[in-house]
Amino acid sequence: MTKPLTEKEKMLQGKPYKAFGEELLGDRQHAKELVYDFNELRPSEIDKRNDIIRQLLGKTGKHFFVEPPFRCDYGYNIEIGENFYSNYNCVIVDCNRVSIGSNVLFGPNVSLFAAGHPLHHDLRNAELEYAFPITIGDNVWIGGNTVVNPGVTIGDNTVIGSGSVVTKDIPANVVAVGNPCRVLRAITDEDKDKYYKNLRVED
């Protein structure tokens, strides 16, 4: 006889699950304690902040910088690569895997929502949720006030414009912006000489 899946196993497999069982609630409470400690440290206590991030997240690179305040649900579902930088008010609802590559920049108020709720109210009232992985490639810049929804992959070297709502996969090497977020254009070698629109580095 097959052993029934736990709510945590359902969550990580993208199946409907209930979030307020003892195991998941306990995991979130543990993460909240660490997040609270992180957010209450003085600005000068960078090493202490980084130690907490290493305890909290499933995997980190050697070098990273997360500006407080920061929020997440579990922490252990989040992986960040080398040279990750997150500006103020980052929120990661990591009810499934959230994989972030190397040399990734987040503007202020970036939110990654791996979790969601069913459309029909009967299912929501039954306390069912779902969660799908989010994957962000290397060398990605996500502008401030951007929301990334469940199940989205953002390709390497891509820039997401401020205020975007990313509901579908975005390919590598593009600028994408909007609600819903759409590809605006490709990033090419001509962009190497420009730091903002048509302003050139040497000017």
C-alpha Rg value of the chain to the nearest Å: 18
Residues acting as catalytic residues: 117
> In this structure, what token pair is assigned to residue 84?
């990750």
Burial letters for 153-181: b for 16+ Cβ neighbours within 10 Å, e otherwise?
bbbbbbbbbebbebbeebebebbbbeeeb
The answer to whether the beta carbons of residues 176 and 184 sit under 8 Å apart is yes
What is d(CA 124, CA 141) in angstroms, rounded to the nearest whole number? 34
The answer to whether the beta carbons of residues 69 and 39 sit under 8 Å apart is yes
Stated as kind and residue range, the H or E segment containing 105 is strand 105-106
